[in-house]
């Protein structure tokens, strides 16, 4: 009898872990004709939140980075607060700010059209399009949201700090080297699809990202990240000040799905 | 990876063809030389380089001549060309003793060559191009017998041509069956694959002669390349890739609102069908051919070897799946599966743009399912299925992913009767847990 390879062991252990944490599963057809279906049972632990105000972002693994199933708010909250103050407030409320990676996965999900709210109901296509356009469409008014990433430079090397959500919902601050990514501004721009489909594990566009119309401000020392859209442009900024605040600048609250 | 393997791989970086354009596949960066020369030689894949003149096709031919020395065979396409000319010659010295015409015909040494390069393939009219089917399949039918071309079972075809869109004089489009046999079709002058500005600058600065040079006799390394291919053949294929292959051949066949729910069933009318969905890929892409899938699997596996040699190995199933899905960009866009109107009208004739648009959602769907598929396939090895897990892959009644679900359950049933070594280990582990 042969031993399993390390890869097979990893897959097997992941399966066992999934089995242990499974509650009720959907069992519905996810790729047939669009249907408004129940996705999963509403956890009692989530009572108190209006789950229909949130979207389910399923757990993802990107290389060594992973996060559990999340609830991501449909609308921006806490407008007018700076990045530092917003982070502090969110953490006291057991909620989080989306990392760039999660934001990328969130946009990919919206673009796929297959979106479920926190109660497990599938959103109609028009609503999904509206949510996506609220983030990326070039139009008034100015919309802007904080992202959980801070950049620092040490010995000429960029480092990135963000929070990792553990399986038990606790937050872990991670500081690591910034992966090889696009380090020049593109005004305009980068191709949104190219960025979303071929971004780095940390979610930033790679150097090979095709040109396009999405603006990009590359990482600066001491800066934080955000995504903005207004009547002239839409884009990812990695050059924001942690103390910048504006009435249009808010946060898309993220919670661990229980 | 053994030192000698890496040495051979590094050697394949050297040559006259220069194209440092970076292409990202599966979150790994390769250059175009890796894609059109190195990876195909590792995997034994045929390559059809299309596009305008001056994009380095002749340099590729020269590099191949240099690597393979006497095991390299070159032909140029012309209207009256017949591949048999390469392999048979008439022995006039036997004219007296021969009883029939066929006894005068003998095979040439070309049958044992490893690389066949056909320049300007589509200068031949379509009927003549069809004679090349066997050549690019690596075989020759001689006196009713099928003979294998090449040495030690290694035979690769390279061809060049221009697209049959009327922009070049004296050329014809290629038959879909021939395109299918050309495992990779790459448009070398497309911005995704064209040389970089620095490449061009250096090429222009090298010599004061616009003619292409001659092949360098720098040493035949054909035996090393064949050994590399044999090593490649020993690599195991992750079952994720054939499972995704089922999606791309059977899943992409799905038509929601027709009787047979199959594009192949209504092939003659597709995509001009009543009720066909315009908001999905139903009207945009025909299911991929089996050969196209096999080519992409081989390409992805050979790129994995290159990534390993570059110190950036593929480590997870998701990464492997992504590399495979991205490799389709080299094998599928020009294979004739995209709806012509969709390419022409919505993408201004840019097949890569059209293919990327069609694949964006399919790729995202596939990657969302990878973890579940990995687990379901591992359980299947032990003859087990887990309904909840399979439900995450596909519905059990309809949809594009249903064929994948059927393939996994079918494999599990098979393994229940014919357990594999891995399966037996898993069965034991599952019992212990219970």
Nearest CA to B407 among B370, B380, B378, B367?
A: B380
Q: Distance (Å) from the C-alpha of residue B314 to the closest C-alpha of chain A?
A: 10
Tell me which of A29 and A218 has the higher pLDDT.
A218
pLDDT value of residue B217: 60
| A12:B421 CB<8 A | no
DSSP, collapsed to helix, strand or coil, labels residue B202 as helix
For B187, other C-beta atoms within 10 Å of its C-beta total: 22
A97-109 per-position pLDDT tens digit: 999 999 999 999 9
Cβ contact B388–A14 (<8 Å): no
pLDDT, tens digit, 9 for 90 and up, residues B126-176: 777 777 777 888 887 777 778 788 888 898 999 888 765 444 444 455 666
pLDDT for the residue B430: 85
Find the helix or strand (DSSP H, E) in which B409 lies: helix B402-417
Half-sphere exposure of B180 (CA within 13 A, CB side): 15
| DSSP output for B5-73 | HHHHHHHTT-SS-----EEEETTEEEEHHIIIIIHHHHHT--EEEESSTTSSHHHHHHHHHHHHGGGEE
Q: Which residues of A fall below an 8 Å CB-CB distance to B?
A: 1-4, 7-8, 11-12, 14-16, 18-19, 22, 25-33, 58, 61, 63, 108, 111-113, 193, 197-198, 200-201, 206-208
State the Cα–Cα distance between residues B105 and B95, nearest whole angstrom. 10
Q: Which of residues 230-249 of B touch A (CB under 8 A)?
A: none
Is pLDDT above 70 for B318?
A: yes
- The angle that helices B240-249 and B317-331 make with each other, rounded to 10 degrees, is 40
CA distance B261 to B248: 15
Adjacent-strand bridge partners of A255:
A71
Pairing of strands A143-154, A249-250: parallel
Q: Is B389 an interface residue toward A (CB < 8 Å)?
A: yes
Residue B370: per-residue pLDDT:
92
Q: Taking all residues of chain A, what is their mean pLDDT, rounded to a whole number?
A: 85
- Nearest by CB to residue A206, choosing from B24, B315, B391, is B24
C-alpha to C-alpha distance for B144 and B86, rounded to whole angstroms: 18
Contact A2 B421 (CB under 8 A): yes
Confidence of residue B113 (pLDDT cuts 50, 70, 90): confident
Token pair recorded at residue B99: 């009883």
Q: In the block, which residue shows the tokens 């095709």? A: A210
Q: Are B400 and B261 in contact (CB under 8 A)?
A: no
* B8: pLDDT strictly greater than 80: yes
- Are B392 and A25 in contact (CB < 8 Å)? yes
Domain boundaries along the sequence of chain B: 3-234, 240-433
Q: Is B23's CB within 8 Å of A208's CB? A: yes
CA distance A39 to A121: 6
Q: If you average pLDDT over residues A187-195, what whole number do you get?
A: 91
Q: How confident is the model at residue B104 (pLDDT cuts 50, 70, 90)?
A: low
What pLDDT, on the 0 to 100 scale, is given for residue A39? 39
Helix (H, G, I), strand (E, B) or coil at B106: strand
Mean pLDDT (chain B, rounded): 85
Tokens encoding A213: 């119309």
HEC string of A74-126 equals CCCECCCCCHHHHHHHHHHCCCEECCHHHHHHHHHHHHHCCCEECCCCECCHH
Does B215 score more than 80 pLDDT?
no
- Judged against a pLDDT cut of 60, whether residue A23 lies above it is answered with no
Mean pLDDT, to the nearest integer, of B288-306? Answer: 95
The two beta strands, A171-177 and A157-165, are antiparallel
The pLDDT tens digits for A220-234 are 999 999 999 998 899
Note whether A61 contacts B391, CB cutoff 8 Å.
Answer: no
The residue-averaged pLDDT of A140-152 equals 94
Q: What is the pLDDT of residue B73?
A: 86
- Report, at the CATH architecture level, how domain B3-234 is classified: 3-Layer(aba) Sandwich (3.40)
State pLDDT tens for residues A37-74. 333 333 334 446 788 899 999 988 887 788 899 999 99
Q: What is the pLDDT of residues B244-259, one digit of tens each?
A: 999 999 999 998 877 7
What was the ipTM of the complex prediction? 0.81
Question: What are the E-state strand segments in B137-220?
Answer: 139-142, 145-148, 156-161, 184-187
Please tell me which of the candidates A1, A11, A111 has its beta carbon nearest to residue B374: A11
First to last CA, chain B: 39
pLDDT at B80: 75
Q: Is the pLDDT of residue A161 over 70?
A: yes
Instruction: Give backbone dihedrals phi and psi of B304, rounded to 5 degrees, phi first.
Output: -65, -40
Closest CA to B387 of B371, B399, B375: B375
Q: Which pLDDT value is given to residue B95?
A: 67
- Chain-chain contact of A31 with B401 (C-beta, under 8 angstroms): yes
Q: CA A205, CA A193: separation in Å to the nearest integer?
A: 10
Mean pLDDT on A13-29: 62
What sign does the CA torsion over B81, B84, B87, B90 have? negative
Closest CA to A87 of A243, A258, A246: A243
Residue B169: per-residue pLDDT: 43
Q: What's the per-residue H, E or C state across A150-206?
A: EEEEECCEEEEEEEEECCCCCEEEEEEECCCCCCCCEEEEECHHHHHHHCCCCCCCC
Are the CB atoms for A228 and A143 separated by under 8 Å? Answer: yes
The pLDDT of residue A42 is 35
- Confidence tier at B40 by pLDDT (50, 70, 90): very high
The model's pTM is: 0.65
For the ranges B79-83, B176-180, B318-322, the maximum mean pLDDT occurs at: B318-322
CA nearest to A64 within chain B: B316
């Amino acid at each position: 009898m042969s031993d399993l390879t390390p890869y097979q062991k990893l897959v097997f252990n992941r399966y066992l872990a999934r089995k242990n944490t499974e509650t009720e599963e959907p069992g519905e057809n996810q790729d047939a004709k669009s249907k408004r279906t129940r996705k999963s049972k509403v956890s009692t632990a989530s009572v108190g939140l209006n789950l229909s105000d949130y979207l389910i972002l399923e757990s993802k693994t990107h290389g060594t980075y992973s996060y559990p199933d999340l609830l991501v708010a449909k609308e921006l909250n806490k407008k007018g607060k700076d990045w530092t103050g917003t982070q502090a407030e969110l953490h006291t409320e057991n909620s989080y700010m989306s990392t760039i990676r999660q934001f990328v996965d969130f946009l990919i999900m919206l673009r796929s059209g297959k979106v479920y709210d926190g109660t497990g109901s599938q959103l109609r296509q028009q609503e999904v399009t509206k949510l996506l356009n609220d983030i990326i469409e070039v139009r008034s008014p100015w919309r802007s949201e904080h992202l959980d990433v801070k950049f620092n430079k040490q010995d000429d090397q960029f480092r990135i700090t963000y929070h990792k959500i553990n399986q038990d919902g606790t937050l872990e601050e991670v500081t690591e080297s910034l992966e090889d990514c696009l380090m020049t501004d593109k005004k305009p721009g980068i191709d949104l699809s190219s960025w979303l489909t071929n971004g780095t594990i940390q979610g930033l566009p790679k150097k090979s990202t095709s040109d396009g119309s999405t603006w990009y401000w590359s990482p600066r020392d001491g800066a934080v990240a955000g995504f903005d859209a207004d009547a002239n442009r839409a884009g990812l900024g990695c050059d924001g000040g942690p103390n910048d605040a504006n009435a249009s600048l808010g946060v898309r609250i993220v919670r661990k799905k229980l | 990876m053994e030192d000698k393997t890496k040495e051979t791989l590094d050697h394949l970086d050297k040559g006259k063809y220069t194209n440092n354009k970076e292409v990202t596949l599966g979150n790994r960066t390769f250059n175009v030389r890796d894609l059109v020369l190195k990876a195909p030689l590792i995997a034994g894949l045929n390559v059809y380089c299309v596009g305008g003149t001056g994009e380095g096709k002749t340099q590729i031919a020269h590099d191949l001549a240099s690597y393979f020395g006497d095991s390299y065979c070159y032909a140029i396409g012309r209207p009256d060309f017949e591949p048999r000319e390469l392999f048979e010659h008439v022995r006039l010295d036997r004219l007296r003793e021969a009883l029939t015409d066929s006894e005068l015909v003998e095979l040439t040494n070309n049958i044992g060559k490893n690389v066949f390069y056909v320049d300007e393939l589509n200068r031949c009219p379509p009927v003549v191009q069809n004679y090349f089917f066997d050549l690019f399949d690596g075989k020759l039918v001689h006196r009713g017998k099928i003979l294998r071309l090449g040495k030690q079972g290694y035979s690769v075809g390279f061809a060049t041509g221009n697209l049959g869109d009327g922009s070049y004089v004296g050329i014809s489009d290629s038959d879909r069956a021939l395109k299918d046999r050309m495992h990779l079709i790459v448009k070398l002058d497309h911005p995704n694959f064209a040389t970089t500005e620095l490449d061009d600058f250096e090429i222009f600065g090298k010599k004061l002669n616009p003619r292409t040079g001659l092949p360098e006799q720098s040493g035949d390394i054909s035996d090393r390349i064949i050994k590399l291919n044999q090593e490649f053949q020993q690599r195991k294929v992750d079952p994720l890739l054939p499972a995704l292959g089922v999606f791309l051949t059977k899943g992409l066949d799905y038509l929601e609102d027709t009787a047979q729910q199959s594009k192949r069933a209504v092939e003659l009318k597709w995509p001009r069908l009543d009720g066909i969905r315009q908001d999905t890929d139903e009207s945009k892409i025909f299911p991929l051919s089996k050969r196209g899938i096999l080519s992409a699997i081989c390409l992805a596996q050979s790129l994995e070897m290159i990534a390993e040699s570059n110190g950036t190995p593929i480590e997870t199933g998701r990464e492997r799946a992504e590399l495979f899905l991205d490799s389709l960009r080299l094998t599928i866009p020009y294979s004739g599966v995209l709806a012509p109107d969709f390419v022409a009208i919505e993408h201004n004739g840019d097949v890569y743009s059209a293919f990327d648009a069609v694949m964006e959602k399919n790729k995202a769907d596939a990657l969302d399912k990878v973890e579940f598929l990995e687990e379901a396939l591992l359980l299947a090895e032990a003859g087990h299925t887990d309904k909840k897990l399979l439900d995450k892959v596909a519905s059990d009644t309809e949809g594009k992913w249903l064929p994948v679900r059927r393939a996994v359950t079918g494999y599990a049933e098979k393994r229940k009767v014919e357990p594999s070594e891995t399966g037996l280990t898993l069965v034991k582990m599952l019992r212990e847990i219970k």
